[in-house]
């Protein structure tokens, strides 16, 4: 099995900042494909937001060589008054008595599914080298979703190369090798 990066003309992407699952080909019969891997990696941030039920910022922790997050809207700015604390206690008592409706159950299922997806991605990242994990993090995981254009926008290979002090070509090779390794882990 080989993973081959398509050229921008083959993939239909002119902008090199766009890291799409359509940019990679896998020559394998069945099982997880490179498109699947990239799509799952791209959904990690959204899944983590759903799992934690809060807005977050992702960043690469260089000391620990791993992905980390911080809360976007820090609760430090909001102090609860004694009245708020009492009100929250009473609401908690009421919630214990009320039955869950379909919308609440759907929310719990979404939160659970987000947790499962996060576990899968975190397991993948633990099985590859730190360098590979960092490249995948900057390429696919820590992104902005461009609603207007309908795609995820991570850092370009050039931007990742500058961040990691390596060449763009090395970034491309690392990215391809990491995706191939994840596919082999899952299809074996």
Least confident segment among 11-15, 114-118, 141-145: 11-15
Residue 162 clears pLDDT 90, i.e. is over it: yes
Selected residue with higher pLDDT from 163 and 152: 163
Express each pLDDT in 114-139 by its tens digit: 888 889 999 999 999 999 999 999 99
**Three-state DSSP state, 19:** coil
CA–CA gap between residue 55 and residue 49 (Å, rounded): 6
Least confident segment among 51-55, 119-123, 124-128, 148-152: 148-152
Residue 22, pLDDT score? 46
Residue 94, pLDDT score? 62
Residue 167, pLDDT score? 96
Selected residue with higher pLDDT from 126 and 94: 126
> Is the torsion defined by CA of 17, 143, 137, 179 positive or negative?
negative
Helices 102-127 and 34-52, axial angle in degrees (round to 10)? 130
Query: Residue 32 — pLDDT band, cuts 50, 70, 90?
Result: confident
């Amino acid at each position: 099995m080989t993973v081959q990066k398509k050229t921008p003309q083959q993939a239909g992407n002119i902008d090199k900042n766009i890291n799409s699952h359509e940019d990679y080909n896998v020559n394998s019969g069945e099982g997880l494909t490179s498109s699947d891997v990239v799509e799952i990696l791209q959904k990690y941030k959204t899944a983590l937001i759903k799992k934690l039920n809060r807005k977050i910022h992702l960043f690469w922790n260089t000391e620990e060589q791993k992905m980390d997050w911080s809360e976007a809207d820090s609760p430090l700015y909001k102090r609860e008054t004694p009245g708020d604390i009492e009100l929250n206690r009473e609401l908690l008592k009421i919630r214990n008595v009320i039955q869950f409706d379909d919308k609440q159950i759907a929310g719990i299922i979404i939160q659970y599914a987000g947790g499962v997806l996060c576990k899968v991605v975190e397991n993948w990242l633990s099985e590859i080298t730190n360098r590979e994990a960092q490249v995948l993090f900057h390429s696919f995981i820590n992104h902005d979703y461009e609603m207007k254009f309908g795609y995820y926008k991570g850092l370009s290979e050039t931007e990742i190369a500058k961040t990691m002090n390596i060449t763009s070509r090395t970034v491309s090779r690392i990215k391809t090798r990491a995706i191939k390794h994840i596919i082999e882990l899952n299809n074996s």
